[in-house]
Structure 1
Amino acid sequence: MDRPVEAIEQRGRARRRRRHVLGVATGGGVAAVAALALALPMALGTGPASAPTNPASAPTGPDNQAGPTSPAPAGNTKLVSLATNLTAENAALPGDASLIIEKVDVRRGRPPSRTRYHLYTDSGMYYYTGAKRALPPVIARGEYLGNGFHPRGLAAARYAATGDVAKAREQMINAVYDEGKPPPAEEARQREQVLRGKGITSPPAIDEARKRAIADNHLWVNSVDVLSAGGGDPKVRAGVLRLIATIPEVTVVDSTAGGQPALTLTAKVFEGYDNRQVLTINAQNGVPIRSVTDDPESKTLSVSTFKVSRVTVADIRAGTF
């Protein structure tokens, strides 16, 4: 049976990034609790990872890896404080999976509004359907999505909760790669392909500032995806908040959602685009509430709200949810 972690239905919704629900990715899986991933131009690697901040000027080669981590910006100390409180929680988690029910309200553009069901098991499996009744048979048939991104991303988040944030940044940014780091040959091929399509034959050099911007872009997208997958785990939420707190392009302000205290995170990490992603989380437990994405390029505005519960896979398989 469902054990609600937080269920706040809202008027606002948000758009996401690839096929994630608030992060749910298609094909590699991630979905949603909190993630909102903006539909980026090109994905790195094969998982739910992120796309370069600007494919025309930000190649996806080996240089596009995480730069050094600076202290969390003063504006994001709210995230650090909340992460500290969450880290102090030692209660055992009920169930063995997190169920995220995402309601997407498309205000402009297509596809139309719909509801998505994302199930992330603690063992790293990810199941997704667009209909509640379809989830049990999908599990029974073993039709899970994923390529190892979630286990690596969740591990990075849990490590970030109490470990070295600089190392955790690198782990989260590279979690989409099977070996934990980008394969040079494949990255070079992707870079050449993207630039050729843009008519660019002599790409500009990447300085340290751009390396950091690219790394922050990847960190935001991957962290939001992981927040989706591990939204039912306080330690995962704590780690994600500590990681996001290191991104200067993310602002944090107090707000309310459904009559409860909330924090609104606005990410401007999509360099070269007018896109911005706005993620609202509960100010007391960090659970994702709403994601809003306005993508001028695709002329799409969507708002996603989430209901996050801790469940058992056995109950879901039996249809008792």
Structure 2
Amino acid sequence: MNDNEVWDAVKQTLSDVQMDRPVEAIEQRGRARRRNRQVLGLAAGGGVAAVAALALALPMATGSGTAPAPTGTNSHAGAAPAAPAGNIKLVSLAANLTADNAALPGDASLIIEKVDVRRGTVPSRTRYHLYTDGGEYYYTEARNELPRVIARGENLGNGFHTRGVAAARNAVTGDLAEAREQMINSVYDEGKPPAGAEEKRMESLRQKGVANPSPLTDEDRERIAANHLWVNSVDVLSAGGGDPKVRAGVLRLTSTIPGVTVVDSTTGGQPTLTITAKVWTDDTQQVLIINAESGVPISSEMDSPETGTSIAGTFEVSRVTVADVRAGSF
């Protein structure tokens, strides 16, 4: 088993002890992660030279195999008729970022991710991710390989981040409830779960030995929706966070999650916001620290007591041009 396979296995272990996820989403995201080696930390959002951290691409909760089922004409996970009132600190910061009309430099976001596995068997490492504004994604663990990866056209983008970025932008300028639904379902190729999701969920449970699986309750759906919304939003910070508008959209979306709390803090002498997300069925939590003025992430830590796994990381996020990176100038 190579390093990437080992890391994928660790991420799957984390995923398996968390919340419920549609069978289709589990399979699809698994394929996407093996194919894309998505950023596992939160290169969340960036700005020019930002630091951020991990678990951003950590899998959505799984565990019992339960998952959202279609409700009426809405087949997405945990649809709600309206978005709840948002956390005022995140909403206020999002408003400030939305008002920033400065021209965005470059045509891509470069994320240098440093992963610190504090408890676990996978070695710490540094990863290089390049997300272009056009939706392409390039990855390597060797800095001098990134230009060659681009030159060879090894684009690993599969549309997930493009859909997520669109949802974040919609959260800024459009209907927030609609944007929530978009982000929750951004993992699906069609932007919504495929037909028969509930039937497949029930069948999966039967195969696992559950004789008479129970249908999901409204509480189940709300919990699952919150988990999906958080995980997908944080993932999008990796791909589009170099744009203040995308950061603003992600902040608005995450501000509506009941399991997310925000407090003022200071990190490295700068004013920050410490965001704690408890959107899993066990005691797993993610702590994300962002700059209180720019929304740029500074650090993130994912801790799962049940698995004995703790992973933290930092990111350097900058706006670049693909041409410069391809030429080795970065």
Structure 1 length-normalised TM: 0.83
Q: CA deviation at 1:130?
A: 1.0
Equivalent of residue 262 in structure 2, options 234, 252, 255: 252
Contact 1:18 1:38 in 2 (8 A): no
Q: Which residue of 2 aligns with 1:36?
A: 55
Question: Structure 2: which amino acid aligns with 1:164?
Answer: D
Identity %: 63
Q: Which residue of 2 aligns with 1:67?
A: 80
The alignment status of 1:243 with 2:253, answered yes or no, reads yes
Equivalent of residue 155 in structure 1, options 156, 166, 169: 166
Q: Which residue of 1 aligns with 2:310?
A: 301
Contact 1:30 1:150 in 2 (8 A): no
Q: CA deviation at 1:108?
A: 1.3
CA distance in 2, matches of 1:158, 1:279: 21
The alignment partner of 1:86 has SS state of helix
CA distance in 1, matches of 2:157, 2:319: 20
Question: Structure 1: which amino acid aligns with 2:154?
Answer: E
Matched residue count: 287
Contact 1:110 1:300 in 2 (8 A): no
The alignment partner of 1:172 has SS state of helix
Question: Structure 2: which amino acid aligns with 1:277?
Answer: Q
C-alpha distance after superposition, 1:188-226 (max 9, x if no partner): 435533x24542232223222221111111000000000
Which of the pair is proportionally richer in helix? 2
Question: Structure 2: which amino acid aligns with 1:120?
Answer: Y
Question: Structure 1: which amino acid aligns with 2:224?
Answer: I
Contact 2:129 2:139 in 1 (8 A): yes
**Does the C-alpha gap of structure 1 residues 197 and 277 become closer, same or farther in structure 2, counting only changes over 3 Å?**
farther
Q: Which residue of 2 aligns with 1:6?
A: none
Question: Unaligned 5+ residue runs, structure 1?
Answer: 1-15, 41-49
The alignment status of 1:116 with 2:135, answered yes or no, reads no
CA distance in 1, matches of 2:12, 2:325: 25
Question: Unaligned 5+ residue runs, structure 2?
Answer: 1-9, 14-31, 45-53, 72-76
Q: Which residue of 1 aligns with 2:324?
A: 315
Question: Structure 2: which amino acid aligns with 1:62?
Answer: P
The alignment partner of 1:184 has SS state of coil
Contact 2:272 2:291 in 1 (8 A): yes
Q: CA deviation at 1:28?
A: 4.2
CA distance in 1, matches of 2:248, 2:284: 26
Structure 2 length-normalised TM: 0.81
The alignment partner of 1:90 has SS state of coil
CA distance in 2, matches of 1:101, 1:150: 18
Q: Which residue of 2 aligns with 1:8?
A: none
CA distance in 1, matches of 2:146, 2:201: 35
**What CA RMSD, in Å, does the superposition of the two structures yield over aligned residues?**
2.3
The alignment partner of 2:171 has SS state of helix
Contact 2:69 2:216 in 1 (8 A): no
Q: CA deviation at 1:295?
A: 1.7
Q: CA deviation at 1:284?
A: 0.6
Equivalent runs, 1:170-181 vs 2, <5 Å: 170-181=181-192
CA distance in 2, matches of 1:93, 1:250: 29
